Amino acid sequence: MGGKAPFTVRFWGVRGSIACSGPRTARYGGNTSSLEVRCGDRLLLFDAGTGIRYLGKTLTGSRIDGDIYFTHTHFDHVCGLPFFGPLFQPQNKFRLWAGHLSGAMTIKRVLAEFMMSPLFPVPPEVFRSTLEYRDFKAGETLAAGNNVTVRTAPLNHPDGATGYRVEFDGRAICYITDTEHVPGSLDRNVLGLIKDADIVVYDCMYTDEEYRRYVGWGHSTWQEGVRLCKEAGVKRLAVFHHDPDHDDEMLDGIAREVQKVMPGSVVAHEGLVLEA
């Protein structure tokens, strides 16, 4: 890497909509969206699906000053938050960011209503760490400290969603999930955000053939991910947000197809670490 600082993304949850377990999904994993990005010694977390519980276990005992960025607050992207151990440790500090909400519906209010009886037994006040709630408007650029910049863009998803581009040390990792494309028309918001990125993690819930049955559901396809990445000059695509019905065998097939059309790209699985 020519002496460059480490810049990595690790996948703790890669599944969409609902967590799934069993032998048919064991290799790629069944936990919902959770990413860990390391920019040198800076820690950025993206989404809080069920995978964040396992991420938290690796951070126990350390003192953390980090950020959690939500693409949106649908259940599969927030349900792991109450089980994220570092939130219960008083020495830690987290900033929670969301850019898709409007009006009185802030990230603090959403999480309070999610963790509310009778849906959940305890409120966010049980967390012992210091929490700061940061609402912003998708499209803004966020300063993340330590020479890290986080650019954002709005995505096409029911109730809204935010795409992220993390820039560090001359490189870029993008996280674009829960977004629906328009067939035959590449999304200009996405293209602008991912231009010349080193890694793009993209919502590949469906295949192009399947997508016809799910128009309006707010998701995209791996083929559209390839089209966007090629147009934007992206180095590497990570297929992400797998349909719960896409088993390991099907994902193996998608991995082979992706390799043919965009060599070096991968189908994300739990535990995978990519370096930009």
239 domain-assigned: yes
Task: Tell me the pLDDT tens digit for each residue of 165-187.
Answer: 999 999 999 999 999 999 999 99
The CATH number of the domain holding residue 17 is: 3.60.15.10
158 domain-assigned: yes
The pLDDT value recorded for residue 224 is: 98
Closest by CA position to 12, among listed 62, 59, 50:
50
- Asked if residue 244 lies in contact with residue 15, where contact means CB atoms within 8 angstroms, the answer is yes
Count how many domains the chain has: 1
The pLDDT value recorded for residue 61 is: 80
1 domain-assigned: no
Give the domain extent around 255: 7-275
Closest by CA position to 250, among listed 199, 200, 215, 210:
210
Tell how strand 130-135 and strand 141-145 pair up: unpaired
The stretch 193-216 carries a mean pLDDT of: 98
82 domain-assigned: yes
Predicted model pTM: 0.97
228 domain-assigned: yes
State how far the Cα of 274 lies from the Cα of 114, in Å rounded to an integer. 32
Angle between helix axes 248-261 and 222-232 (nearest 10 degrees) is 30
2 domain-assigned: no
Task: Tell me the pLDDT tens digit for each residue of 256-272.
Answer: 999 999 999 999 999 99
190 domain-assigned: yes
The pLDDT value recorded for residue 1 is: 46
The stretch 16-34 carries a mean pLDDT of: 97
State how far the Cα of 137 lies from the Cα of 23, in Å rounded to an integer. 41
Q: Report DSSP letters for 74-109, one per residue.
A: -HHHHTTGGG-GGGG-TT-EEEEEE-S--TT--HHH
How far is C-alpha 215 from the geometric centre of its chain's CA atoms?
A: 22
Whether 202 has a pLDDT exceeding 90, the answer reads yes
161 domain-assigned: yes
Which tokens go with 90? Answer: 């008083």
For 183, which DSSP code?
A: T
The pLDDT value recorded for residue 2 is: 55
Task: Tell me the pLDDT tens digit for each residue of 73-120.
Answer: 999 999 999 999 999 999 999 999 999 998 889 999 999 999 999 999
